[in-house]
Amino acid sequence: MTETSEIRVEQTKLDELYARLDELREETTARLGTVRISEVGGNHQHRAERDAFATLYEDQLIRLDGAEEGLCFGRLDIVDEDAPAYIGRIGLTDEQRQQILIDWRAPAAERFYQSTAANPDGIARRRHLVTANRKVTGIEDDVLDIDALDDAQRSNLQGEGALLAALTTHRTGRMGDIVATIQAEQDAIIRRP
């Protein structure tokens, strides 16, 4: 596959993730609307419960809206697993409650930041996705276990690593999003109790 076809593969996954994000927004907005129009009558406990649910749904909408830009920024190709794991700003599950996006702060995402070529920890390849406005604009692959990759995967490697790409990116003078470029040592500090 060429870089263009690899980007198409990742775009298909990104479209799936954004479709799920949009579904969750719609569901949460509908629930919030139902709670807001519910009768105010009843006792103090009923009003408190209604207000608690309204706050819960409002907070969920804020979280979902906050994930709009840069929803998914990474992928792990795990040795002996058929499907890759995707890493992003928030965790998402599909309608069957299967994980389709892992929150970068979750323990399951640690290997995205901690795995190295010296200690791949079961990761064959780490892929950084560069996105803007719901579009994949680039990909950068870090090979962690070359022997675990098949011939097709070896021929489809992209880029020289996300950190080098981040270092050479045009600067605007404003701080950018660092979540996608956290390195192993930085992740260890973040996760320290």
Q: Which of 20, 43, 66 is a domain's end point?
A: 66
Residue 155 in this model has a pLDDT that exceeds 70: no
**Phi and psi, residue 136, nearest 5°:** -80, 120
- What count of Cα atoms within 13 Å lies in the side-chain half-sphere of residue 134? 10
Residues 135 and 102 in one domain: yes
Give the number of other Cβ atoms within 10 Å of residue 108's Cβ. Answer: 15
Full domain range(s) for residue 12: 3-66
Alpha-carbon gap, residue 131 to 22, rounded angstroms:
17
Please tell me which residue, 162 or 13, carries the higher pLDDT value.
Answer: 13
pLDDT tens digit sequence for 119-151 = 899 999 999 999 999 999 999 988 888 776 666
Residues 81 and 175 in one domain: yes
Residues 94 and 179 in one domain: yes
- What count of Cα atoms within 13 Å lies in the side-chain half-sphere of residue 102? 18
Question: What Cα–Cα distance (Å) separates residue 159 from each residue in 34, 49, 59, 172?
Answer: 48, 52, 38, 23
Residues 87 and 20 in one domain: no
Rg of the chain over CA atoms, in angstroms?
20
Strands, sheet with 85-88, edge to edge from the N-terminal-most edge strand: 92-93, 99-103, 85-88, 72-78, 123-132, 135-143
Alpha-carbon gap, residue 146 to 57, rounded angstroms:
45
Residue 153 in this model has a pLDDT that exceeds 70: no
Q: Which of 46, 66, 86 is a domain's end point?
A: 66
Mean pLDDT for the chain?
Answer: 84
pLDDT tens digit sequence for 12-46 = 999 999 999 999 999 999 999 999 888 766 778 88
**Region 67-94 average pLDDT:** 95
What pLDDT, on a 0 to 100 scale, did the predictor assign at position 36? Answer: 87
What pLDDT, on a 0 to 100 scale, did the predictor assign at position 161? Answer: 42
Residues 6+ apart with CB under 8 A from 148: 79, 120, 124
**Region 68-90 average pLDDT:** 95
Q: What percent of the chain has pLDDT over 90?
A: 55
Please count the structural domains in the chain: 2
Residues 175 and 121 in one domain: yes
Residues 57 and 80 in one domain: no
**Region 94-112 average pLDDT:** 96
